[in-house]
A = this chain, B = another copy of it.
Amino acid sequence: MNGAHALIQTLVDSGVDVCFTNPGTSEMHFVAAVDDVPKMRTILGLFEGVVTGAADGYARIAGRPAATLLHLGPGMGNGLANLHNARRAHVPMINIVGDHATYHTQYDAPLQSDIESVARTFGWYRHSMRTEDIAHDAVDAVAAAMGPPSQVATLVLPADVSWGEGAEPAAPRASSTGAVVADDVIERIAKVLVSGEPTLLLLGNRANDEASLCAASRICTATGARMLTEVFPTRLERGAGVPAIDRMQYLSEFAVSQIGALRHLVLVDAKSPVSFFAYPGKASDLVPDGCDVHTLAGLGDDVANALAHLADLVAADVEPVVAPASRPDRPTGAVTAESVAAAVGALLPDGAIVVDEAATSGLWSMGATAGAPKHDWLTLTGGAIGIGLPLSVGAAVAAPGRQVINLQADGSAMYTIQSLWTMARENLDVTTIIFNNRSYAILNMELQRVGAAAGPKAIDMLDLSRPNLSFVSLAQGMGVDAVAPSSAEELTAALERALREPGPHLIEAVL
């Protein structure tokens, strides 16, 4: 078999059986070979930011990586912003980047560029140079992606390595749950917790699943410590029956008061908190003065095991405190960010996945859904906007039968608006709610916060109302059913219908 066939078979054998694609000429043998491996599902995106963001959403829900198929350096470049988001969240992903044939690169043809220098900025990298090595390179790529720590892995596939004959699939490698944290580390932190000194558990990354939250809740209940999750959790399990946890505030001045006075900060697969941006005269490092920082478990560790062990030490007979079931009433009156949140809270189905890129408009959405049936909450992990729609594509592919609700800011939506077409093509159960405030509202706020005086040209640069965008037209242009309700009642009815009817829907909430 040729290199492409062996590569795809190896990926499938390793559990990587979904590939989000945007191919070009150098990937044509890979494209042809997907029909030789029936188990590989290929999903086309019209833009690479859709492809990489979808692979991210898939991995967050499936717990294993998807592959992407990208066209040389520029194709990978188009996917870079969402690769950045995946890197910051340690999401596993395997990029197959097609390249010129190995003997063709000496001619520096127009599409040639330095793929390696770019790819190494976001993760593991290998340039496969021989057809007989491609399957083993793929096994290495999967192992690198899975970690722990998990990461983005990029495998460059030259056209002649792909079309060359004589390849064979390689056997998959066993995966690991991470290094066991040493007993003395856990015991030392147990002592801190039982000391009664003001202590905060900061949970991140893999410590936001229900089991980890239960362990953390038991620890806090037993010791009086508090717990927070990071500003932008990768995947947070929440809802009725799951311990509730607040996200650290995005704005540093609010985060400082939320963290409060502390003697100890315990990091559980989380980074020490810092301000998202620097501002004149404001702190960048958010750890209070005199606070000791302890790491229970980090990126390469078995986090679940460490948390369970710690809970057994300090809270053996203590039960977690879980969120009670409760829903807001169906909203009435005007379409506002608050009434949209209430509609979502009133209707959120059991097992839903909420993809939250609502920015300033999302203020009420977590509160309104705190007592809704159990669901997952996915956020913008790396600050590179344009993730919400693609993340929804990937989450829906990973979880057929679960409803995906995408709370989506207007400005951010426009970066990867092409995602809607893939939702229609794959008939994905995604309901996108666009908060259309016709502004980069967060930047208007930031413009004031940085202390910069704003004139008309500056204000115009943050304004999306000239002309107004119609997300209904945009969605219809890509085959997605769309409405723009004129009241909260209409919006709630539209959401109810969207959740009932299969396939993608878009609801434009003009604020």
Contacts and interface: CB of A to CB of B under 8 A. Distances in A.
A24 interface: yes
Interface string A366-393: 0000000000000001111010000000
A254 interface: no
A487 interface: no
Given A42-B457, A121-B117, A450-B29, A109 B77 contact: no
B460 A47 contact: no
A177 interface: no
Contacts of A118: 80, 117-118, 121
A478 interface: yes
A290 interface: no
A191 B44 CA distance: 55
A232 interface: yes
Given A47-B414, A383-B74, A454-B35, A275 B109 contact: yes
A468 B474 contact: no
Interface residues on A, range: 35 or more
Contact of A443 (B28, B381, B382): B28
A397 interface: no
Contact of A477 (B108, B284, B455, B477): B477
A425 B466 contact: yes
Interface stretch (A195-203, A215-223, A318-326, A415-423): A415-423
A424 B467 contact: yes
Given A110-B88, A415-B78, A470-B477, A461 B31 contact: yes
Interface stretch (A60-68, A96-104, A399-407): A96-104
Contact of A46 (B42, B103, B415, B442): B415
Nearest to A159: B278
A35 B457 contact: yes
Interface string A427-445: 0000000000000001100
A308 interface: no
A261 B75 CA distance: 36
Given A110-B382, A285-B107, A450-B29, A34 B474 contact: no
Interface in A75-113: 75, 77-78, 80-81, 83-85, 87-88, 100-101, 103-104, 107-111, 113
Interface string A47-79: 101000000000000000000000001110110
Given A75-B81, A473-B477, 15 more contacts: A23-B461, A25-B277, A25-B443, A28-B446, A31-B452, A32-B447, A35-B455, A35-B458, A78-B78, A78-B415, A84-B111, A104-B278, A110-B276, A163-B451, A424-B467
The 10 closest A-B pairs by CB, nearest first: A35-B455, A467-B479, A77-B80, A473-B477, A32-B452, A74-B384, A101-B278, A104-B278, A474-B477, A107-B274
